[in-house]
Amino acid sequence: MSLLEIRGLCVRFGGLTAVSRVDLDVEEGALVALIGPNGAGKTTAFNVITGVYAPSEGSVRFAGREIGGVAPHTICSLGVARTFQNIRLFRSLSALENVRAALQGAKRSGTGDMLRLAGWRRREAAAETEARALLDELALGSFASARADSLPYGEQRRLEIARALATRPKLLLLDEPAAGMNPAEKQALRELVRRLRADRGLTIVLIDHDVSFVMNLSDRVAVLDHGEKIADGAPEVVRRDPHVIEAYLGSDGEAPA
Amino acid sequence: MENLLQQLLNGITWGSIYALVALGYTMVYGVLKLINFAHGEVYMVGAMTGYYAAHALGLTQAPSLGALVLVLLISMAACALLGALIERVAYRPLRAAGRLAPLITAIGVSLLLQNAGQLVFGADPKFFPALLRSEEVIRAGGVAVSNIQLTVLVTALVLMAGLQYVVRRTRFGRAMRAVSYDAPAAALMGVPVDRVILGTFVLGSMLAAAAGILVGLSNPKIDPLMGLMPGLKAFVAAVLGGIGSVPGAMVGGLLLGVIETFVTAYLSSTYRDAIAFVILVVILLLRPTGLFGAPQTEKV
Amino acid sequence: MRARSLLWLGVAIAFLVFLDVAAPRLLNPYYVTILSRIGIAVIAAVSLQLVNGFTGQFSIGHAGFMAIGAYASAALSVFAGAAVLAAAAQVVPLPVARLAYFPVALVFGGLVAAVAGIVVAVPALRLRGDYLAIATLGAGEIIRIAILNIDAVGGARGFSLASPEYPSIDLRYESLAGVFGVALIAIAAISRLVYAGGGLAFRAVREDETAAESIGIATTRVKVEAFLIASFFAGVAGALFAHSEGYIHTNTFGFVRSFELVAFVVLGGLGSLSGAILAAATLTALPEVLRGLGEWRMVLYSLLLIATMLLRPQGLLGQRELWPISRLKGGGG
């Protein structure tokens, strides 16, 4: 059984079909790339997996459990975390606070915080330590007190990843994590993703426009075009698939590198 | 049966006044996505201006249709200026400041006008001069229509028809609709967005002024706080019809007037003011975009 | 409890005792009343700050909850409290009985308001932005008009805090210690709530609801929680108001009052408890101090609001806190 199993997924918005009859399997520990031209439905697929949209048809199963239409915060507690295409950090909060906010999630207790019963201080300190450790691990330690929106662009993307990691996910969805990065930053990101997968045993699905970025990184590549899956397999095979080439040629005239 | 029709007539009369004010709310929301809380006060200034104009021009002793029209025009002009002033000074600087700051400023302007009004006009109620002699005009099937009611209805209808014409058939109206669909795109297409917004305020304020005069005619007691409740209710009417939709504001206003009148007549009069808010809450829960509004989705 | 917390508690108690004992002797009753009103305004303002400033939900009908707290506690006192006090006075001295009773009345007012808070919040919080604002405005008005139509609590005549069966029992509670004690509790509770690690959930909801959901925060629950706590404290503020004034009328709790509270929170800085406290205190005291200005007060007030939004929209303190609340906020933001 795959960790993530999508069968016959259709997502419709009024008259527009964003995703059409998509099947996808992601095994535990795998690193799958989801690529395709603009508007292919990749982010919509992520949004369905994380509960932002409900499927119009089809099923999404995570660790054997149906999560189609389940609330996003519940899906997160089951072990799915994500980053966003347009970076959605908590902008006026510090980097540390962004990560810290993700640590407790649903387990917080308002009364516990107001009354500060036994062990409160200890738990707070432990959480702060964990948050700092996570920042350090992602080379963001020096930015801990800085406002999230004051961080340089690449650091903001890494911070979003740090925040997602704080929820201790089994499955990590990265939506265009390399967008706007220069080649050196992309290389560093590639290393980071490999490391996260190796150290934490994470399963990762990653969307990106930059086909060369994903080619060296992923076990498998799935290609969406106009909401349909047109290819799914090893990177070298997909790269040569005529349908894939046509999909990219059709949109920006360049074969995937 | 006659009573039903009578109440219906009363409801439509009140409703058309709500509609006139609601149009101002809805047009401004359409182009600016702003709830202009100060709009109710523009309506009040309209009534007050009419009062002072009528006295200044010595029209109080010579009721006639011509007097009414003159007072209407003066009041509409004054409020057009007021509306333009408010837009220019209080709202335009905040065009890029998000949704919250303009809303708070709008509340501030509303409070300012209420309290300044109390200072300038005096807090005591005044009596709007009878610009038309009140007489019963028609008696059909047991329903009595006074000439004042008829005047209110006809004036409101004419104004609404005029507005429809402007919105649907003129360049300005097209520009207004373009800005309410997509302001940045409209700007890129050469639409003078600033002037369109200013014009929208002017139009809405003129309608509110007319509503103030018509209310002065039918319910002569006016005071500086008279804009509060009707303002809120007209806003509810705009939401009911679908905020941002011009036909919606007209329908919403008429509907609110009729519902309010019926509930007051047949159920309870002490809850009159609450009806509008109950409708508001119901509409927001069932269909927040209102009768004529289109649902919006957020892109993630 | 740690030594430092005990020290704070000691200082607070000493301050409150001083207030109750010294203030009525040192100040003329008019100023005592102003101080009382300041305390009540502070409680209402910090409660609203939790919803508007920290959770980012724009609620503009908050006076409705104050009304509920005021009327519910007043009704309790008049219809039950007086009898209870009269009976208790047979056994213990009346002042002792009163001292034991009034917290009950206050908490009762808060709880009823909290229930109303949930009733309003659960449907209203499905809406966002402008729509939520007008829903809360509508709710506040419905509450006010509904109370206005309840004859048992006076209706349009207002409600006096005097029991017809026990006219000799004084139901008023004019203790500055009471008002400021509650204020300190409200400030401590809300600042602890918001500035704990878990309290980041409120600000996460404010900053970006979708992102907050994606990290496991149940945003609706957080919003309802904020509303619940805020309406509780607003209710207590209303109860304090009712018992110190001795007479209440729904006119005091209309949307002008709601807007005033919004002004406190915005002028102080959305997201700053210290700011809300300062603004509430200053703006409540100012009109009294400038009484000579007469009707110009409200005009100046509204001009101040407009000018602030045009010139300094972040308000006085933005999201910053002053000492001692800033200690709670800690580093990292």
C48: containing domain: 29-253
Residues 203-232 of C with CB under 8 A from A: 203-204, 207-208, 210-219, 225, 229
Question: Is C84 at the interface with chain B, CB within 8 A?
Answer: no
Domain-located, residue A1 = no
The per-residue pLDDT for B14 is 92
A204-208, C25-29, C53-57: segment of lowest average pLDDT: C25-29
User: Which of B108, B239, B285 minimises the CB distance to C134?
Assistant: B239
How far A88 CA sits from the closest chain B CA (Å)?
10
pLDDT at C332 exceeding the cut of 50 = no
pLDDT band at residue A253 under the 50/70/90 scheme: very low
pLDDT at A105 exceeding the cut of 70 = no
A202-206, A220-224, B65-69, C71-75: segment of lowest average pLDDT: B65-69
* Span A64-98, pLDDT tens digits: 999 999 999 999 999 999 999 999 999 999 999 99
Domain-located, residue A165 = no
Peptide bond connecting C167 to the previous residue in cis, omega within 30 degrees of 0? no
* Span B87-133, pLDDT tens digits: 999 999 998 877 778 888 998 899 899 989 998 888 889 888 887 77
Q: Which residue of C has its CA nearest to B275?
A: C142
DSSP structural state of residue A94: B
pLDDT at B274 exceeding the cut of 60 = yes
A72-76, B220-224, C102-106, C164-168: segment of lowest average pLDDT: C164-168
pLDDT at C331 exceeding the cut of 70 = no
The per-residue pLDDT for C95 is 85
Alpha-carbon distance of B166 to B172, in angstroms, equals 7
Domain-located, residue C193 = yes
The per-residue pLDDT for A27 is 93
The per-residue pLDDT for B2 is 67
The per-residue pLDDT for C290 is 67
Distance (Å) of CA C264 to CA A6, C42, C49, C228, C281:
51, 9, 9, 20, 9
The per-residue pLDDT for B300 is 57
Alpha-carbon distance of C60 to C48, in angstroms, equals 9
pLDDT at C333 exceeding the cut of 50 = no
B5-19, C34-48, C155-169: segment of lowest average pLDDT: C155-169
Q: Which of A80, A114, A167, A171 to mutate to test the interface with C (most CBs of C within 10 A)?
A: A114
User: Which of A84, A96, A127 minimises the CB distance to C211?
Assistant: A84
The identity of residue C247, as a single letter, is Y
Cα torsion angle, A216, A218, A221, A226, sign: negative
Are B18 and B229 contacting, i.e. CB atoms less than 8 angstroms apart?
no
pLDDT band at residue B298 under the 50/70/90 scheme: low
Q: Which of A197-211, B25-39, B179-193, C229-243 has the highest mean pLDDT?
A: C229-243
Per CB-CB distance under 8 Å, the chain C contacts of A164 are 214-215
A163-172, C7-16, C58-67: segment of lowest average pLDDT: C7-16
Q: Which of C192, C215, C222 to mutate to test the interface with A (most CBs of A within 10 A)?
A: C215
Q: Which residue of A has its CA nearest to C190?
A: A114
* Span B185-243, pLDDT tens digits: 999 988 999 999 999 999 999 999 999 999 998 888 899 989 988 998 999 999 999 98
Are B99 and B106 contacting, i.e. CB atoms less than 8 angstroms apart?
no
Please state, as a whole number, how many other Cβ atoms lie within 10 Å of the Cβ of residue C233: 29
The per-residue pLDDT for A250 is 60
Question: Is C134 at the interface with chain B, CB within 8 A?
Answer: yes
Give me the percent of chain B exceeding a pLDDT of 70.
Answer: 96
Domain-located, residue C10 = no
Average pLDDT estimate for A162-186? 92
In chain A, the number of structural domains is 1
Q: Which residue of C has its CA nearest to B268?
A: C149
Domain-located, residue C298 = no
**Between C313 and B99, where is the model more confident?**
C313
Domain-located, residue C221 = yes
Per CB-CB distance under 8 Å, the chain C contacts of A147 are 333
Question: Is B296 at the interface with chain A, CB within 8 A?
Answer: no
How far B105 CA sits from the closest chain C CA (Å)?
5
Per CB-CB distance under 8 Å, the chain C contacts of B118 are 295
ipTM: 0.91
A110: containing domain: 94-158
Tokens of C66: 């104050």
The identity of residue C166, as a single letter, is Y
Average pLDDT estimate for A219-248? 89
Mark B25-61 as b/e (b = at least 16 C-beta within 10 Å).
bbbbbbbbebbbbbbbbbbbbbbbbbbebbeeeebbe
Closest CA to C194 of C321, C61, C7: C321
A160-164, B241-245, C329-333: segment of lowest average pLDDT: C329-333
Average pLDDT estimate for C84-98? 87
Tell me how far apart the terminal alpha carbons of chain B are, to the nearest angstrom: 55
pTM above 0.95, yes or no: no
Chain mean pLDDT for chain B: 88
Question: Is A124 at the interface with chain C, CB within 8 A?
Answer: yes
* Span B170-179, pLDDT tens digits: 999 999 999 9
Residue A166 to residue C217, Cβ atoms within 8 A = no
Domain-located, residue A249 = no
Are B108 and B37 contacting, i.e. CB atoms less than 8 angstroms apart?
no
In chain C, the number of structural domains is 1
| Beta pairing, strands A57-62 & A65-66 | antiparallel
Average pLDDT estimate for C128-156? 88
